[in-house]
Structure 1
Amino acid sequence: MSEIRGASTRRQVLARTGALGAGIAFSGALSELFTDTAAARNLGHTGYGPLVPDPHGLLDLPKGFRYRVLSREGDRLRSGEGPVPSNHDGMTALPGRQGRIHLVRNHENRQDAKLPVPTVEGLTYDPAGKGGCTALTLDSAGKVLSERVAIAGTAVNCAGGPTPWRTWLTCEETEDRAGTNGYTKDHGFIFEVDPSDPRRTGAVPLTAMGRFQHEAIAVDPHRGIVYETEDAFLKPFGLFYRFLPEKPLGGVGSLRAGGRLQAMRVPGVADLSSVRETGAAFDGIEWVDVPDPLAAETPIRLQDFGPKGITHAQKLEGCYWGGRCVYFVSSYARGAEGSAADHYGQIWRYDPARRRLTLVIVFGPDTDVQLPGESPDNICLAPGGGLMVCEDGNGAQHVYGVTRGGEVYALARGRQAIASAATAAGGTAEEPEWGEFAGVTFSPDGRTMYVNCYKPGTTFAVTGPWGR
């Protein structure tokens, strides 16, 4: 998620004149998206109003909204297992008993992590791995009751996704093998995490789901199919996958029974970045069996998928299920890096019943550094309809929303400056950089938004007049 990028600080907003609407549904909340250039430019008069500077220098929000800091890196875990790890990334909020909420939070730690996930007996996959997940349990009033390690010894835990049976699938965004970078086991897997009882799931790689640079997943709650994105920002780019479980919707631990991994082929489209117009749709989507899901000799995206090849895309990241479709994000594409065309972000919708893939959102450039929209990453459905999107780019960082009518608005702006080298990972007094957002999610009742600042690792709970 956070590889070094170019020095550009241009912000991006939706900018596709006359773009087509896209009908979607999620629990009756969403009726349509997108997109209108005039609305996209009118950021000061949409959403919840202008952002109010935070006197504490952490998080700017609209008037009427408040935040609480639930956890910060370096603080002590309430379990006593060690300090809160670095690099807060993907996250979900799952309902628990007696109105409690379980937050499961990824830590995208590489081997040079400042604060690794503490190793815990019975919850550690590879003692040499620095990544993993922590879990926070909140009471019905939002007070933190506990905070502990949920899985350790994994690597580069970027995003993932919730399951219908209230667990979290955490994804490793790496392909490092045992003996590489000090690891003692192969990495690049998905692991299941039960935040209510982490020892119930342990630290078992779901090997049949593939070994590659995982980013996020979404589970079809009707069929049990698991969709997976691959975040490859260097050519050859990643693929969009589906996993057909032997025991679909089988509950905790059922994915260990195995299944079949397939990659998406869009007939006539080798690179999704070549599609430019919102509303462009492709029927007859094909799914091709992955020759070697464990990538024993060759990374999956380089394997032989037959004379028709396979469809690639740069920076496939966020993934979620809405209504009867799965949505996934290509964070950006750059021709200079090998993509067929440039873009600043796409969101695609796949309808499995129709076998139809549709480009529903395209992001475009804007030079105002106060406007949101560069490199969409983690996304979720907002309780009132529309989307919440985490920004993962340079310069100012936002959580921004897209209404059902296609309006783009800033919901939050990070104020925690990163003081380090003048690169995309840090900034100077003259050209400051701020920590990106990640893991945006809502409480089951829709009254609280939870979101992480990646660096310095901070988990926020945001409340306010969501129904306004």
Structure 2
Amino acid sequence: MSSATRRQILSRTGATAAGIAFTGALSELFAGTAGAAPGGHTGRAGYGPLVPDPAGLLDLPAGFRYKVLSRQGDPLRSGEGPVPSNHDGMAAFAGRRGRVHLVRNHENRLSGKIGVPTVPGLTYDPAAKGGCTALELDGRNNVLGERVAIAGTAVNCAGGPTPWRTWLTCEETEDKAGTNGYTKDHGFIFEVDGADPHRTGAVPLTAMGRFQHEAIAVDPASGIVYETEDAFEQPFGLFYRFLPRKPLGGTGSLRAGGDLEAMRVPGVPDLSVVQETGARFEGVEWVPVPDPQAAGTPIRHQDFGPRGITHAQKLEGCYWGGRAVYFVSSFARVTDGSGGTHFGQVWKYEPHRRRLTLVVVFGPDTDIRLPGESPDNICLAPTGGLMVSEDGNGAQHVFGVSEKGEVYAVARGAQNIGTPEDPEWGEFAGVTFSPDRGTMYVNCYTPGTTFAVTGPWC
């Protein structure tokens, strides 16, 4: 039974059980977690059953509570306009005097419900409706400020934080100027300073490539930026690395340019054909991208030589842990043109060994009551746990995974955007933790809502 069919059955039956089937070395995802607290939550399987929220917003385990920080359509505290819709990727950064800066993506296309307001000095293309907003919070998660951080970008899906405390927001589109009313080319990465957006402005980091960007992760030692591409049709996306000319050191480093390369796994043209966890590939190669600007041909269509290049369907989440970069293939289907079918993979690339390993495979569960395939955003919590955001039809959860591979529900969306007879719930996105590890911030994509969740995380 297909994933969509299973989820439709789940939504129509009102089933509330949740679980994920995993195989593979889950310990890989916890080893060397930056900032992991000793005695953290990695060995415990969950916080107990989810308790229905009387307010109908967010179901959490007993002992946890949430605060709504922001909802689409409400006025921005800056007075620049309404809070935009389609809340997606997000990161939290430490500010002065115990404050927290949240930078939040808005994945708006031209038909987005509420676009990001245009602001002088922060707008790239006035015709585009995507961008980022920034929230400033005090130590008790009270909102002190909320403003536009960048506007005039398109389909801002995910991205990732940098070691110098900025956010790289990614456009998941390849539309060029003159397409769909846009006045400038799109498909770039932009750097955003949530504390001072005018410091970074609205400057595309063109050397990092023009393609359907999803997420990034930065090697804190070298400054190399790894990038995923979520292409929607064949040939599917590539996994990239960007070697900046001025590694590390703030905003100017990435603007100074660099070299973009794509990953080639010798003998593996399509990662979906790999089905066995623990499968390991030595001697990974990095091939220069012929035309990073994709002036005439999208990068994934370009000529990488007689040995070709390695593709993968639905490359999404990307994050750095220990001495390796991890990236997610959300799913692959032979019926879509992939070489194999799977329900979610997590790959680990070790730069110092030039080694790629398949460390986790998701689902499928055999019980239609149990959702659990198609991972989207994956977050390594500061306490050492893994958080997984589900993306599909049916009930939407944030799951935690223990070091032993035990899965537990952390949150469930309760905002029904369908009908009583055929309910729907918006996906979760942008899971991130506060610098003091005491709060999980998470977005509901539709209706756009940002939550702060506190409780006994450790």
For this structure pair, what is the TM-score category when the shorter chain's length is used for normalisation? over 0.9
Contact 1:231 1:316 in 2 (8 A): yes
Distance 2:120 2:369 in 1: 46
Give matches, 1:394-405, under 5 Å: 394-405=393-404
Which residue in 2 is equivalent to 1:42? none
User: In structure 1, what is the equivalent of residue 430 of structure 2?
Assistant: 439
Task: Please tell me whether residue 27 in structure 1 is matched to residue 34 in structure 2.
Answer: yes
Partner of 2:105: 106
Q: Distance in 1 between matches of 2:290 and 2:234?
A: 20
Note if 1:448 corresponds to 2:417: no
In structure 2, relative to structure 1, the CA distance for the partners of 1:320 and 1:6 (3 Å cut) is same
CA distance in structure 1 between the aligned counterparts of 2:367 and 2:84, rounded to whole angstroms: 34
Written as runs of structure 1 = structure 2, the 5 A alignment for 1:232-271 is: 232-271=231-270
1:358-437 equivalent positions in 2, closer than 5 A: 358-366=357-365, 368=367, 371-419=370-418, 428-437=419-428
- Map 1:200-219; keep pairs closer than 5 Å: 200-219=199-218
Tell me, yes or no, if the aligned pair for 2:330 and 2:374 is still in contact at 8 Å: yes
Quick check: 1:136–1:146 contact (8 Å CA) kept in 2? yes
Deviations 1:252-284 (A, max 9, x none): 232010000000001111111111111111110
Aligned-residue identity in percent: 77
* 1:384 to partner: Cα distance: 2.4
Cα distance in 1 between the residues matched to 2:21 and 2:232: 23
Aligned residue identity for 2:118: T
Letter in 1 for 2:329: S
Stretch of structure 1 that moved more, 147-156 or 230-239? 230-239
Q: In the alignment, does 2:165 pair up with 1:166?
A: yes
Task: Provide closer, same or farther for how the CA distance between residues 125 and 7 of structure 1 changes in structure 2, counting only shifts above 3 A.
Answer: farther
Partner of 1:299: 298
Q: How does 1:22-171 map to 2 (within 5 A)?
A: 22-23=27-28, 24-27=31-34, 29=36, 46-171=45-170
Deviation at 1:200, TM superposition (A): 0.3
- Residue 375 of structure 2 contacts residue 390 of structure 2 at CA under 8 Å; is this kept in 1? yes
Are the equivalent residues in 1 in contact too, given 2:103–2:135 (CA < 8 A)?
yes
**Cα pair 1:14 1:362 within 8 Å, conserved:** no
| 1:459 counterpart = 2:450 | yes
- Give 1:343's aligned residue: 342
8 Å CA contact 2:37, 2:382 repeated in 1: no
Does structure 2 conserve the Cα–Cα contact (< 8 Å) formed by 1:400 and 1:412?
A: yes
- Find the aligned partners of 1:382 and 1:130 in 2 and give their Cα distance: 31
1:259–1:406 distance in 2 versus 1, CA, 3 Å: same
| Unpaired runs of at least 5, structure 1 | 40-44, 420-427
Query: CA offsets, 1:115-167, max 9 Å, x none?
Result: 00000000000000000000000012211000000000000000000001100
DSSP 3-state at the match of 2:7: coil
Matching residue's letter, 2:175? D
Q: CA deviation at 1:431?
A: 3.0
| TM-superposed deviation, 1:413 | 0.4
Instruction: Provide the rounded CA distance (Å) in 2 between the counterparts of 1:241 and 1:109.
Output: 25
Amino acid at match of 1:119: T
Matched, 1:182 2:189: no
Counterpart position of 1:9: 7
Segment of structure 1 superposing worse, 444-453 or 272-281:
272-281
SS, match of residue 218 in structure 1: strand
Find the counterpart in structure 2 of residue 423 from structure 1. Answer: none
Match for residue 15 of structure 2?
none
* CA shift for structure 1 position 366: 2.1
Distance 1:110 1:370 in 2: 33
The alignment yields a C-alpha RMSD, in angstroms, of 1.9
Give distance in 1, aligned partners of 2:121 and 2:265: 42
Per mean C-alpha deviation after superposition, the further-off stretch among 372-381 and 223-232 is 372-381
Distance in 2 (alpha carbons) for counterparts of 1:28 and 1:446: 9
Relative to structure 1, the CA distance from residue 370 to residue 77 in structure 2 (aligned partners, 3 Å threshold; closer, same or farther) is farther
Q: Bigger CA drift: 430-439 or 78-87? A: 430-439
C-alpha distance in structure 2 between counterparts of 1:443 and 1:372, whole Å: 28
| Alpha-carbon shift at residue 404 of structure 1 (Å) | 1.5
Question: Structure 1 CA distance, aligned partners of 2:76 and 2:22?
Answer: 46
How far the C-alpha of 1:418 sits from its partner, in A, is: 1.6
What do residues 225-267 of structure 1 show as CA deviations (whole Å, max 9, x unaligned)? 0000001132110000000000000212320100000000011
- Name the SS for the 2:363 alignment partner: strand
Q: What is the distance in 1 between the residues matched to 2:144 and 2:366? A: 44
* Amino acid paired to 2:449: T
Q: Distance in 1 between matches of 2:249 and 2:383?
A: 31
Q: Using the alignment, how far apart are the partners of 1:431 and 1:343 within structure 2?
A: 28
For residues 309-328 of structure 1, the aligned pairs below 5 Å read: 309-328=308-327
- Asked if the contact 2:33–2:382 (Cα under 8 Å) also holds between the matched residues in 1, the reply is no
Residue 329 of structure 1 deviates from its aligned partner by 0.6
Q: Is the 8 A contact 1:117 1:133 kept in 2?
A: yes
Relative to the length of structure 2, the TM-score reads 0.93
Q: Which runs of 5+ in 2 are unaligned?
A: 11-17
